[in-house]
Amino acid sequence: MGDCGCDDRRDWLNKRFPYQVELTPLQVERLEKLFDRNRLNFNGAETAELYALNNEIFSEKKKPKSCGPCAKEVTKRLLGIYEKYQENLQG
């Protein structure tokens, strides 16, 4: 099975039509706690917090899963939002 191109298509669309997300101070604080040590492995409670934040920020109703790829997708999405927030603070 080859690469379907979904990641490339998503990246292309995101560059042309950026999705602006306004984070609340509490959401920023919660993201800082999760991403404070540049790690991408989380315990069960932290995974639940990642999904809760994802649902708040993106108005979704995803349920926490132990599925590695699913959790990685949520983590990657939130990390991207957090990094964009940090970039905007710096300049």
Cα–Cα distance for residue pair 40/37, rounded to 1 Å = 9
pLDDT at 67: 79
Find out whether 54 and 77 touch, Cβ atoms under 8 Å: yes
Q: pLDDT tens across 77-89, in order? A: 999 888 888 888 8
- Domain borders along the chain are 23-90
DSSP element (H, E) containing 61: none
- Per-residue pLDDT reduced to its tens digit, 11-29: 777 666 656 678 999 999 9
User: Which residues fall within 8 angstroms of residue 58, CB to CB, at 6 or more apart?
Assistant: 21, 77
**Rg from Cα positions in the chain:** 14
pTM above 0.85, yes or no: no
Characterize 3-13 residue by residue with b for buried, 16 or more Cβ atoms within 10 angstroms of its Cβ, and e for exposed.
eeeeeeeeeee
Mean pLDDT of the region 54-60: 91
